[in-house]
């Protein structure tokens, strides 16, 4: 297996064979036997200057951002935590990033405060399921963002098994005023199950993620009248067992509470830093700072890549930087719904837009650039686990769209050269994330991945392989350098219309 993997690398890169170290990175280590170490893509010949972009070094920035999240958690926020917009973690993160920019000698480093509309903060919640003399507290239950509060004092209602929640699963079931348990997993067909249960009058909806483990998952708004919660796999299967064992006339019951506050007068910020170039033409490098839990893949990795690029270009003399590089730590978008993404809204203001982006040759959004490749319950391996590989995942991508074939070609070549696996076809529009607010009026590049640990309390720094961070960031730098060989006219286009959904 080892020689096979090395062979693949050598063929793909035409580089000399690399020595694969025998030290362990993996979470397993069950037997003390050697484990497969992360595969590092060798630098292509002639590209030695990019060796300064070092994945292990950038990974420290992932660790530092995760620590900001944990500090917020440990200050009295044990269940709804992260680098959440409007919190002290948001403010600490903004200061942290500005300090990084300042330490690089960047120009015009500043934190631009932005007002927030009242923000959703669940204060307390609990879910207990009882039946057949047993009682289970669902520790993994996490309310969907913006979920409506339950009546004060909570609810005590009958539980219903909803299966996948398709019309067939729910046929003949009375959900009115009940707690419905639905089962899903990344990769399954979208049954619109939560919406269907809401339409049938459920009092509360529990969506079990059937992944191995018992992770908390912070979901985006369900836009339902009844509050929806996500539930980890172990908890969800335990509830299913209770439901299976229930006897006629003694239904399983759910006792649930959820208190929510809309907190006014909070602020977030854009964090700016500039590396002036030889001209007033611009290249933007942006990354969103917010995220749930340790938020390592989403998006400490992206912020780390952005800082890695700033470090790389800060060492190059100004006269050799053809265009001015503007870096923005965005507030982000996890506070989805009305009043969210105020930074993106500010950048879209016509006056700001025309001032900032009139001479922009490129905008790279660094978002989820490195995600460990995992396999859920691989075939013929016993047990109920997520298995880690020693490789980072292929990413969804967008590089300027069909009207900018030159940018697409530059990007694909750079990703191939530096070992960034991609889905075969580009997304018609940027992957879900912050380039979505910029790509219609800037030549945008983004790659991104959303996998098993996305938005969970297991999204720790080790889910961001330094190898992927290194490969993607080097490719971004290569794209910047190649774009700088060409005039603005090659990349600029009239603003595209807002796409119809």
Residues near Zn ion, by CB under 5 A: 298-299, 367, 433
Q: Report whether 9 contacts 41 (CB < 8 A).
A: yes
Whole-number Å distance between alpha carbons of 180 and 201: 10
Rg of the Cα atoms in the chain: 24
Question: At its nearest, how many Å lie between Zn ion and the CB of residue 83?
Answer: 11
Polymer length in residues for the chain: 501
Q: Sort 415 into a burial class: Cβ within 10 Å, 0-12 / 13-18 / 19+.
A: buried
Which residue, 367 or 459, has its beta carbon nearer to Zn ion? Answer: 367
Which residue, 214 or 299, has its beta carbon nearer to Zn ion? Answer: 299
Give, in degrees to the nearest 5, the angle at Cα 446 between 441 and 449: 140
Classify strands 267-275 and 324-330 as parallel, antiparallel or unpaired: antiparallel
Strand residues in 214-310 grouped as ranges (E): 228-231, 253-263, 267-275, 282-288, 291-292
Which residue, 144 or 367, has its beta carbon nearer to Zn ion? Answer: 367
| 3-class DSSP state of 12 | helix
8-state DSSP, 203: S
The C-alpha torsion from 143 through 144 and 146 to 148, rounded to 10°, is -50
- Which residue's C-beta sits nearest to Zn ion? 298
Question: At its nearest, how many Å lie between Zn ion and the CB of residue 198?
Answer: 27
Which residue, 86 or 433, has its beta carbon nearer to Zn ion? Answer: 433
Question: At its nearest, how many Å lie between Zn ion and the CB of residue 456?
Answer: 13
What are phi and psi for residue 312, nearest 5 degrees? -65, -50
Question: At its nearest, how many Å lie between Zn ion and the CB of residue 411?
Answer: 19
Which residue, 154 or 433, has its beta carbon nearer to Zn ion? Answer: 433
Which residue, 96 or 183, has its beta carbon nearer to Zn ion? Answer: 96
Which residue, 273 or 332, has its beta carbon nearer to Zn ion? Answer: 332
Which residue, 299 or 460, has its beta carbon nearer to Zn ion? Answer: 299
Q: Report whether 267 contacts 86 (CB < 8 A).
A: yes
Question: At its nearest, how many Å lie between Zn ion and the CB of residue 477?
Answer: 21
Whole-number Å distance between alpha carbons of 134 and 136: 7
Q: Which residues, including other chains, have CB under 8 Å from residue 433's CB and lie 6 or more apart? A: 288, 333, 365, 367, 368, 446, 448
Which residue, 222 or 447, has its beta carbon nearer to Zn ion? Answer: 447
Q: Cα separations (Å) of 80 from 140, 194, 198, 474?
A: 12, 21, 24, 34
Distance between first and last Cα of the chain = 46
């Amino acid at each position: 297996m080892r020689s096979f993997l090395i062979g693949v690398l050598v063929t793909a890169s035409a580089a000399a064979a690399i020595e694969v170290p025998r030290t362990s990175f993996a979470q397993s280590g069950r037997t003390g036997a050697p484990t497969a170490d992360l595969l590092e893509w060798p630098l292509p010949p002639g590209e030695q200057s990019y060796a300064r972009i070092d994945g292990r070094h950038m990974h420290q920035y992932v660790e530092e951002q995760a620590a900001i999240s944990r500090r917020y958690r440990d200050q009295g926020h044990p269940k709804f935590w992260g680098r959440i917009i409007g919190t002290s973690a948001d403010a600490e993160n903004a200061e942290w990033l500005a300090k990084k920019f300042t330490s690089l000698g960047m120009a015009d480093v500043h934190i631009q405060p932005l007002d927030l509309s009242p923000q959703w903060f669940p204060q307390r919640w609990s879910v207990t399921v009882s039946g057949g003399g047993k009682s289970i507290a669902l520790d993994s239950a996490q309310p969907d963002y913006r979920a409506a509060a339950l009546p004060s004092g909570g609810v005590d209602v009958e539980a219903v098994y909803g299966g996948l929640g398709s019309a067939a699963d729910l046929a003949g079931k009375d959900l009115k005023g009940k707690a419905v348990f639905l089962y899903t997993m990344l990769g399954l067909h979208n049954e619109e199950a939560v919406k269907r249960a809401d339409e049938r009058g459920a009092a509360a909806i529990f969506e079990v993620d059937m992944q191995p483990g018992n992770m908390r998952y912070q979901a985006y708004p369900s836009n339902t009248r009844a509050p929806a919660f996500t539930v980890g796999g172990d908890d969800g299967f335990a509830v299913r067992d209770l439901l299976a064992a229930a006897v006629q006339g003694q239904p399983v019951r759910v006792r649930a509470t959820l208190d929510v506050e809309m907190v006014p007068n909070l602020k977030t910020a854009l964090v700016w830093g500039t590396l002036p170039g030889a001209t007033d033409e611009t290249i933007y490098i942006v990354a969103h700072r917010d995220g749930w839990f340790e938020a390592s893949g989403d998006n400490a990795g992206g912020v780390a890549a952005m800082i890695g690029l700033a470090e790389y270009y800060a060492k190059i003399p100004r006269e050799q930087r053809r265009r001015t590089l503007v870096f923005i730590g965005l507030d982000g978008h996890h506070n989805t719904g009305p009043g969210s993404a105020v930074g993106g809204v500010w950048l879209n203001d016509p006056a700001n837009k025309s001032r900032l982006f009139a001479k922009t040759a490129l905008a790279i959004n660094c978002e989820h650039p490195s995600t460990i490749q995992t396999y859920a319950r691989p075939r013929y391996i016993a047990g109920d686990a997520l298995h880690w590989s020693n490789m980072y995942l292929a990413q969804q991508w967008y590089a300027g769209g069909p009207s900018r074939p030159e940018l697409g070609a530059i990007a694909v070549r750079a990703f191939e050269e530096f070992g960034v696996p991609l889905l075969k076809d580009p997304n018609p529009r940027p992957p879900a994330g912050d380039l979505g607010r910029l790509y219609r009026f800037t030549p945008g590049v983004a790659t991104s991945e959303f996998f098993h640990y996305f938005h969970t309390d297991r999204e720790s720094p080790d889910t961001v392989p330094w190898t992927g961070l290194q490969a993607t960031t080097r490719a971004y730098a290569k794209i910047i350098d190649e774009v700088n060989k060409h005039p603005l006219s090659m990349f600029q286009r009239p603003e595209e219309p807002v796409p119809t959904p």
